[in-house]
Amino acid sequence: MRFLLVGGGAREHAIGAALVRAGAEVVVASANANPGLERLAAASARIDPTEAAAVVEFARRTRAEFAAVGPEAPLAAGVADALRAAEVPTVGPGKDGARIESSKAFCRELLARHGIVASPKVVTPASVEEVDRAVAQFAGPFVVKPDGLTAGKGVWVQGADFLDPKEGAVYAKSLLLQGGRVLLEEKLEGEEFSQMAFVTDDGVYPMPAVQDFKRALEGNRGGNTGGMGSYSQRDHLLPFLPPADREAAIEIVRKTAGALRAEGISYRGVLYGGFMLTAGGPVLVEYNARFGDPEGINALTLYEEGNFAALLAGVATGRVDPNLVRFRLRSTVVKYLVPPGYGDRPRPGGVLELDLPEIEAEGVHVLYGAVEAAGPGAVRLGSGRGVALVGEASAIHEAGSRVEAALRHVRGDYYVRHDIGTKEDLARRVEHLRQLRAPGAKPSPLPLSVAAPDAPPSSAGTPEQLHG
């Protein structure tokens, strides 16, 4: 089987590696020359992954039988539609299904239309003049979100990104003045987790739950990023996530897949629910239309060897053999090595020297992201997340310790969050949920108000990229 892989980050490196382990051939269309993908690909080309015509042409030239689209931007640009039109079965929704990620208003409206109780209070001011009145509708803290794709960086949370509601209002107005739509949402209290699933015509197939670390700096300070690292637990739950709450999240994902189908949208790909586990259960923070990065790396590390290519071919063609959806019972920790200043003012150009045999000897795998090759065992950091190290073990903190041990074999100037997957961090999160759920705790904002945003859906086809 020959797969075209669209995208050149560490998530795509993990997808490519899993396909090659399954005996498939991989050809890669990406803007950058990812050193990991270059090594394993049968062919690769420097193509803007959002340029549908160029991607299709490359698929034809390389006789790709299937395709998998990694990042959100090509999905939002209709690259999966173009590949399907060229008769290349593809993992990744068309532009219509990708709106679940590329328009947060579409996502909330879809849930409201289908009575899926999973949203906080949402208000969408239609104009700058309406912002102050919209802000006044929140008795407590709120969140300001641009409607479109922002690479995880456009959301402002009260208490973290701004303190005074007036500052949030100014930010919301500035977004509206730039021409986009804006959502104001009630701030959810709890612990976040990612529940991804393969979705195709014949069903929804969940992956292990994962927790991502969104904030740039240790202690969850600094700005929101695409994710600095992530962990998953042996039993596919999380230390703070009991089975019933994971099931409730999976049920929301199932209902959402059903809602998409009911609206005539054929969705073949990965649907990723970003949830907040609140005192009252899981509430949806957002959907993504693809594997998480880094969360996809956790899931792919756990995938049972052998049949990943058959699984993806099944997703792309609408029929999955459930026996192929199997994940090992191990814990994983991913940590991203990023350029100094990442999240705010990244300083690219630094060289990392990786002693690969020593890193592998620690039981840790290396996945390359925004880096370029710089000689044997060396890579040069770009502005994005550079190198992902993934460790696995029986317990989460052991997997984290493996990654820390592997860091001894990396030289160069980089930043990494050492607090991901430590016993202390895990205990804090368990305690956070325990306190929220304790009898007599401050009443939660639930039962949920499923407020349909009060503005009509945008007529704009492609949402603008606000923050790259």
Q: How far apart are CA 402 and CA 24, in angstroms?
A: 30
Give me the least distance between CB of 121 and ligand AMP, in Å please: 9
Which residue's CB atom is positioned nearest to ligand GLY? 227
Question: Which CB sits closer to ligand GLY, 324 or 333?
Answer: 333
Q: How far is the CB of 177 from ligand GLY (least distance, A)?
A: 26
State phi, psi for 362 to the nearest 5 degrees: -80, 0
Number of residues interacting with ligand GLY: please give it, by CB under 6 A. Answer: 8
Full DSSP string of 216-251: EEGGGEEEE-S-SEEEE-TTSSBTTB-HHHHHHHHH
Partner in contact with 89, chosen from ligand AMP, ligand GLY, none, beta carbon below 5 to 8 Å by kind: none
Enter the DSSP assignment of 323.
G
Q: How many CA atoms lie within 13 A of 281 on its CB side?
A: 16
Distance (Å, whole) CA 465 – CA 468: 6
Closest approach of Cβ 459 to ligand GLY, in Å? 26
Q: Where are the alpha helices (DSSP H) in 367-422?
A: 396-407
192 binds, among ligand GLY, ligand AMP, none (CB under 5 to 8 A by kind): ligand AMP
Q: Which is nearer to ligand GLY, 173 or 290 (CB)?
A: 290
Binding mask 206-245 for ligand GLY (x = CB under 6 A): ------x-------------xx------------------
Instruction: State the burial class of residue 329 (Cβ atoms within 10 Å of its Cβ: 0-12, 13-18, 19+).
Output: exposed
152 vs 281 by CB, closer to ligand GLY: 152
For residue 253, the minimal CB distance to ligand AMP (Å) is 15
* Residue 224 binds which of ligand AMP, ligand GLY, none (CB < 5-8 A, kind-dependent): ligand AMP
Structure tokens at 157: 């949370």
CB nearer ligand GLY, residue 62 or residue 288:
288
- Other beta carbons within 10 angstroms of residue 375's beta carbon come to 9
- Report what 295 binds from ligand AMP, ligand GLY, none; CB cut-off 5-8 Å by kind: ligand GLY
* Binding residues for ligand GLY restricted to 263-302, rule: CB under 6 A: 288, 292-293, 295
Give the separation between CA 326 and CA 308, rounded to whole angstroms: 10
User: Applying CB under 6 A, does 195 fall inside the site for ligand GLY?
Assistant: no
Cα–Cα distance, 371 to 379 (Å, whole number): 6
Q: Which of 152, 168, 190, 281 binds ligand GLY (CB under 6 A)?
A: 152
Judged by the rule CB under 6 A, the positions of this chain that interact with ligand AMP are 120, 143, 145, 152, 155, 157, 185, 187-188, 192, 214, 224, 274, 285-286
Q: Give which of ligand GLY, ligand AMP, none residue 44 binds (C-beta under 5 to 8 Å, depending on kind).
A: none
Q: Are strands 229-232 and 364-368 parallel, antiparallel or unpaired?
A: unpaired
Contact between 74 and 55 (Cβ < 8 Å): yes
Say how far apart CA 327 and CA 425 lie, in whole Å.
25
Question: By beta-carbon distance, which residue lies closest to ligand AMP?
Answer: 286
Query: In the complex with ligand GLY, which residue's Cβ is closer, 18 or 64?
Result: 18
- The sign of the CA dihedral 25, 229, 424, 429 is negative
Sites of contact with ligand GLY (CB under 6 A): 152, 212, 226-227, 288, 292-293, 295
